Amino acid sequence: MLNCPLTNIYKTYLRPFLLIHSWLKNKIIKLKNKTMRYLITYFCLFGLLACVQEGNTQSKSSKGQKTKGQETNTQINLENMEQATFGAGCFWCVEAVFQRINGVEKIVSGYAGGKTKNPNYKEVCTGETGHAEVCQITYDPAKVSFDELLEVFWKTHDPTTLNRQGNDVGTQYRSVVYYHNDTQKQLTEKYKKELDEVKAFDRPIVTEISPLPEFYIAEDYHQNYYNQNPDQGYCAFVIAPKVEKLRKVFKEKLKKDN
């Protein structure tokens, strides 16, 4: 996984172009005409640069603007609500999954579990701060229980890979449950033990279970990321399949508009 500041560009633009390039590679090297090979390579690079420029423009234009979902979050009544904090790889993925669960009222992406105070994305991506990318979930226990959220958590990422989810590698991508109270701790440990006992996964679960440390809110452009950028590379190739799986496995737990 590339370290920041190129991490965002890699996830959003470069990874899809590498997939395209691998498909074109054989066709390019078969061309005897060197000029044609150079032209094809040039157009691939030109397309990548154009996408990066467009992404930067969209990012700048979206700053300071609230989406419909964000406006709803600021207006909810937090009375009788509870919170859960999960890390399961890139927080864009975690947010996109739990946003669609009925009873989840608000999600904030951020960083927790490290030694650096007020870390930024660039620092967290180096892996040197010790922080994990996490989502703090505010939910209505009358509509969805912590047990049900745990079920979604276990089934929408791989809890057996240490400091890794797919191609996202680093301690910031570790699987973790930061519990808010003793009840959450007991339920999480019990669930984890039962999954290991029935060998629900091919390997033992390595999910960290720790008390909630200080939580730092991530930068604005990370909030509601998938909903605002569904066509960008990382969203289309990595997050969209997770959301589609969620719709199939947890159809009865989804909000009506999902």
How far is residue 149's CA from residue 151's CA, in Å, rounded to a whole number?
5
- Of the candidates 4, 51, 90, 235, the residue annotated as catalytic is 90
Which amino acid belongs to residue 105? E
Considering only the C-alpha atoms of the chain, give the largest distance between any 2 of them, rounded to a whole number of Å.
70
The residues near 250 (Cβ < 8 Å, ≥ 6 apart) are: 101, 152, 155
Partner residues linked to 138 by β-bridges? 83, 106
Helix axes 146-155, 182-197, angle to 10 degrees: 40
> Structure tokens of 132?
């994990």
The alpha carbon dihedral of 123, 71, 144, 239 has a sign of negative
CB count in 10 Å sphere of residue 187: 18
- Going by DSSP bridges, is the β-strand pair 215-217/208-211 parallel, antiparallel, or unpaired? unpaired
Q: Are 175 and 88 in contact (CB under 8 A)?
A: yes
CA distance 97 to 155: 11
Active site residue 90: yes
**Catalytic positions:** 90
